[in-house]
Structure 1
């Protein structure tokens, strides 16, 4: 902790209006200076690495790198930076994954502004916060927890439009293994068609991101 309460922050979101809105909320605290804005995942990592801010607010669905990858890289390059994640995707699996990846704060974009405002000093002092609506989503979610890591990789690539052969090549496994995983996924989730499987993937935000860090 710093001797004086004089904190720096970076705001990362691909929507300019939201970036400025969050920046205003932070600076209204009176002891926080927003040193940079990032509009994509790669910029968020690069700017955090450069500035080593006390706080990063991070949208998990930005171009060029998905939020969890950004979170991991930020924690790698700037371990003392507190990361408050904002999600527009109300997926219990995704929110649990963010918790496991080390997010210090988890908020949904539909949540109350006042809840985030009240959480800011707690985050800066080393606490962890999960907003009330995010906590409710996490508590209710059970389906995706039954999927293995490989099955989640398969469903994300199916949802992204890859063929069985393309998925097999991407993951270094046989097309038959991909088909077996797909059957297992559908059985676990109780879905009967690809349309139902894709609808589930949309709801849970399970999409493969082409650009990697």
Structure 2
């Protein structure tokens, strides 16, 4: 079971490789009071902090907190790996992700791994505090701006293999004629694929297409 203090406070572990973020969350929770609770602060008890993935996993195993604040990009162990270990050692812990990551595949992977909530590090702290009661009661939450990123990434995943080929060649700066010659198709077919890619990714120019492809990781490493 997750750790709950006798007074009803929720125990918390904060895991982030940046001390300024750990301190900010610590200070925020130290004076936070959940709606419906007593007027005096103290609803949260910080029982551990971690600056890398291995420390985070060790803290979870030792403390079994009610709440984990987790950065997904930390040394020694990644976000999804940590989430899997949390679910193994402390299944009742609610996992709140704070991240600066904007990769659709990474964000979707975090949700799939079992995160309960994801907030952008650019989001106002009051947004997180407002959602905490629902998160602690078992609801899941993803900040709207991150939901939009995930949705657009899923649209990217609907590209066909040929459309991905064309997209990568466009990003490389190849003309329709050059793409047609390499793929042994007509320039008219290339233009059709180009239009389909731009429609699916909701862009209106080659510059926007290239920016979207880079941002969403749609470019093949090869």
Change (3 A) 1:7 1:90: same
Equivalent residue number for residue 7 of structure 1: 10
Q: Equivalent residue of 2:69, what SS?
A: strand
Change (3 A) 1:36 1:140: same
Structure 1 residue 25 and structure 2 residue 42: aligned? Answer: no
Shift of 1:205: 7.1
Change (3 A) 1:27 1:145: farther
Equivalent residue number for residue 190 of structure 1: 167
Distance 1:94 1:120 in 2: 23
Contact 1:186 1:192 in 2 (8 A): no
| CA RMSD across the alignment | 2.8
List runs of 5+ in structure 1 lacking aligned partners.
148-183, 207-213
Distance 1:202 1:9 in 2: 36
Structure 1 residue 115 and structure 2 residue 92: aligned? Answer: no
Shift of 1:146: 4.7
Q: Equivalent residue of 1:111, what SS?
A: coil
Change (3 A) 1:122 1:64: same
Among 55, 60, 75, which residue is 2:87 paired with? 75
Q: TM-score, normalised by structure 1?
A: 0.69
Shift of 1:23: 1.3
Contact 1:143 1:189 in 2 (8 A): no
Among 36, 59, 75, which residue is 1:63 paired with? 75
Q: Which has the higher contact order (CA 8 A, sep 6+)?
A: 1
Distance 1:11 1:94 in 2: 21
Distance 1:143 1:188 in 2: 16
Q: Equivalent residue of 2:154, what SS?
A: coil
Equivalent residue number for residue 96 of structure 1: 108
Equivalent residue number for residue 148 of structure 2: 136
- Larger mean CA deviation between 8-17 and 24-33 belongs to 24-33
List runs of 5+ in structure 2 lacking aligned partners.
33-40, 174-210
Aligned residues: 168
Q: Find the structure with the greater CA-based Rg.
A: 2
Change (3 A) 1:201 1:41: farther
Instruction: Please identify runs of 4+ aligned residues in structure 1 that moved more than 4 A.
Output: 1-4, 193-196, 199-202
